[in-house]
Chains A and B, each alone.
Chain A
């Protein structure tokens, strides 16, 4: 089975801090994604990556950056955390072929105080 592991289940940080969320997948998937999930809004794509060192902006990239130095690892960075970035963050991976499912981690619930 595909396993997508997010480094923290819960995280509390302060406004202005630089925050790193880490995600690792073990199935050699080309694609990796970062979403945030807020009640009633579903999942909104922040950034995705289709290969090492490649990244593309999603629908809501402002205030975030990403890093993919190795195929299995995709990091989300909040450059200067703000309270409106309090949310559930989900990482996913998939094969590049069309109509392939995305496999999700269990999420990181991030609170910015």
Chain B
């Protein structure tokens, strides 16, 4: 069974701070997807990274896929209360099956 470990599990910060969430595995994935889930809703895709070493930016969010395609990070610059939510990484393999990490619950306080 492939495992994805996310860290930290919980993060509470003040508005304006920067933060990084990590997603690590011993397995290689064809791609890595990041989702955000808000209370009462299902996860929504933020980004997919495919190539080892790839960096993608989505406004204040920067996603990086590790060179060996085993790990990924999400960096948020100047966090805002609207960034509050559960962040999930998911590794994809054959047949578009996803293995999900345990999630990072982020709270950004005004």
Contact = CB atoms under 8 A, between A and B. Distances in A.
Interface of A: 4, 9, 31, 35, 40-45, 48, 50, 59, 90, 92, 94-107
Contacts of A102: 43, 45, 90, 96, 98
Interface residues of B, number: 27
Given A4-B42, A90-B42, A107-B41, A43 B97 contact: no
Contacts of A97: 96
B92 A106 contact: no
27 contacts: A9-B40, A31-B95, A40-B9, A40-B102, A42-B100, A42-B102, A43-B88, A43-B90, A48-B97, A50-B95, A90-B42, A90-B43, A96-B95, A97-B96, A98-B31, A99-B30, A99-B92, A100-B96, A101-B48, A102-B90, A102-B96, A103-B45, A104-B42, A104-B43, A104-B44, A106-B41, A107-B40
Interface of B: 1, 4, 6, 9, 30-31, 33, 40-45, 48, 50, 88, 90, 92, 94-98, 100-103
